[in-house]
Amino acid sequence: MTTVREATYDVMRRQAMTTIFSNPGSTEVAFLVDLPDDLDFVLALHEGSVVGVASGWAIARREPAFVLLHTTAGLGNAVGAIATARVNHAPMVIVVGQQDRRHLALEPFLAGRLEGLAGDYPLEVISPVRAQDVPSAIARATHRARRDQGPVVVIVPMDDWEAEYDPADVSAARVVRTPMPRTVDVLDLARMVADAERPVVVAGSGNDSADGWDRLVALAERIDAPVWQEPFGSRAGFPQDHRLFAGHLPADRPRVREVLADADLVLVVGCAALRQYPYAEGPLVPDGVRVAVVTADPDEAYRSPAELALVADPTEVVRALVTSLGPRPPEEPPAAPQVEETASPLVEAAPSPLVEAAPSPLVEAAASPLVERAQRVETHPLTSTAVFRALSTVLPRDTVLVEESPSSRPILQAMVPAREPLGFVSAAMGGLGFAMPASIGLKMALPDRPVVAVVGDGSAMYAVQSLWTAAHRDVGVLWVVMANGGYAVMDRLAERVGGKPPWPSFPEVSVGRVAEALGCRVVRVDDEAALSDALGEAASRLREPGGPLLIEVSVAPDTSFAP
């Protein structure tokens, strides 16, 4: 006799989902006992960390991760992480346990009202009508997660797993996904670009791939356009050490209008137009500036105030656009001295955070005013600038840098640019608790790449239990914890409105002590010499297997935060 559980295992094997990320309960026991040897079980100690680790895994592989959660409590604990997975385009199949369907009508202990618990953040919530339908539901969820790059929830009552499965009744169909046609109609977009005299490109997270970077570099060089990174993006959509990289686009309308004042076209590739944080009056872009959006996410296209939005693979659109534009016409001899090649009228009109020479040897294009201010006030204890300067000198070019240090993020981005795809990963949703577990999943999926997470001590406490998973499985992530003993970004925001915050600082909290209790090696530093030694030694081992390490750095609260 074949059971529903065994049939589901076969679906998982066919879909290359043989790693199970979970924190299970009693409603999942029947699925997990006597797990076949070819299926790997990864335990995290909180459901938010489960989804966080799976998110890193899925982002790195661009393939669905398999997550198993426990009824109402498990799904409820994971909702914030599921929201982040949706906005970060992390594909995953989330199976949620339910009480025995034979007495669900009586709402027994552990029965869950699960369908709407995660809101609209799952791409879809599937409740199989019969036990026979479970394998096909999981196959369907896998294809949806892969196609639309996000989380899909499947609710499975606990008695379904042992039910007899008859493949002649309803089988989990073997779906063959053929590639979409590579031809893309870019005629209207090509006309807009060709007509523009001062185009600007905004690179988004959806363009973060080797092909995406190569194509967008070719386009930017063809039209000689400065390239900005989308604000608050989860990934880097363009090499940030390229001569045309202009910096990170501001996240409020007045500053966006200022930096785009000299543009006549804004071409947004791989994200919506344009993400904001604080509300401000006035138009999003200056009057007369045309906006075009290229994204694979229909929701991003629909909400963008753009003249033209193409819903398609950005890589294919940009490839077709470069072909349509043809080679760049030869330039006539200049009648007057020209500006240097690395500058553009836009960059001159509105200096980006990365225009002037940076102290970091990795940032050839730029230094931020934030960095300059931080340098002028640098004293003991350590500042974020000192920490990131030290990081920039030791990190290999292909480092996957995971960020969750809100008050120092602008300085980090200015001093440690993304130089290869997946060079920067963050939580586009804005919620905390992503970086620690996601870095574990990223390293598990990319064992040959260095993975470094920069995390605030306040942020770390949202998912600190995920460190146990790294220690237990010997996953070689380096965490640099910026310990300022408080919520520095919240303090800065309170100062802006001239109010007194009610929340206290927490200088007695030590992420390092918690990490040691969870099995991680910890180094504590509070001066530049110790920092340099610790980072240098850690960097020399980033490509070696195993050995998770947390460096707890005592830093002064940042005063230069600018969203």
Mean pLDDT across 429-447: 96
Biggest CA–CA distance in the chain, Å, is 85
Q: 11-32: per-residue pLDDT in tens?
A: 999 999 999 999 999 999 999 9
Residue 407: which pLDDT band, with cuts at 50, 70 and 90?
Answer: confident
Rounded CA gap, 409 and 554, in Å?
Answer: 17
Mean pLDDT of 367-380: 41
Name the range with the highest mean pLDDT among 249-253, 326-330, 490-494.
Answer: 249-253
Which tens digits make up the pLDDT trace of 297-346? 999 999 999 999 999 999 999 999 999 998 877 766 656 555 444 433 33
Per-residue model confidence as pLDDT tens digits over 93-125: 999 999 999 999 999 999 999 999 999 999 999
Give me the CATH topology for the region 357-554: Rossmann fold (3.40.50)
Predicted pLDDT of residue 359: 35
pLDDT score of 374 more than 60: no
List, in sequence order, every beta strand (DSSP E) within 212-251: 227-229, 245-248
Confidence (pLDDT) at 173? 58
pTM: 0.89
What's the distance, CA 425 to chain centroid? 4
Q: What is the mean pLDDT of residues 534-561?
A: 87
pLDDT mean across residues, the chain: 89
Tell me if domain 187-329+340-348 and domain 357-554 are identical in fold. Answer: yes
Q: How far apart are CA 426 and CA 76, in angstroms?
A: 22
Please give the average per-residue pLDDT across 411-425, as a whole number.
96
For the chain, domain boundaries: 4-162, 187-329+340-348, 357-554
- Rounded mean pLDDT, 203-231: 97
Q: With a cut of 60, say whether residue 536 has pLDDT above it.
A: yes
Beta strand pairing call for 478-483 and 451-456: parallel
Predicted confidence (pLDDT) at residue 244 exceeds the cutoff of 70: yes
Tell the CATH topology of 4-162.
Answer: Rossmann fold (3.40.50)
Residue-level pLDDT at 262: 95
Q: For residue 541, what is the DSSP state?
A: T
Percent of the chain at pLDDT > 90 equals 77
Domain at 187-329+340-348: CATH code: 3.40.50.1220
pLDDT of residue 330: 74
What is the rounded average pLDDT of the residues 368-384? Answer: 52
Phi, psi at 89, each rounded to 5°? 55, 50
Q: Are 97 and 158 in contact (CB under 8 A)?
A: yes
Smallest Cα–Cα separation from 418: which of 342, 367, 368, 362?
362
Q: 279 pLDDT band (50/70/90 cuts)?
A: confident
Cα 303 off chain centre by = 20
Beta strand ranges found along 102-206 (DSSP E): 124-126, 151-157, 199-203
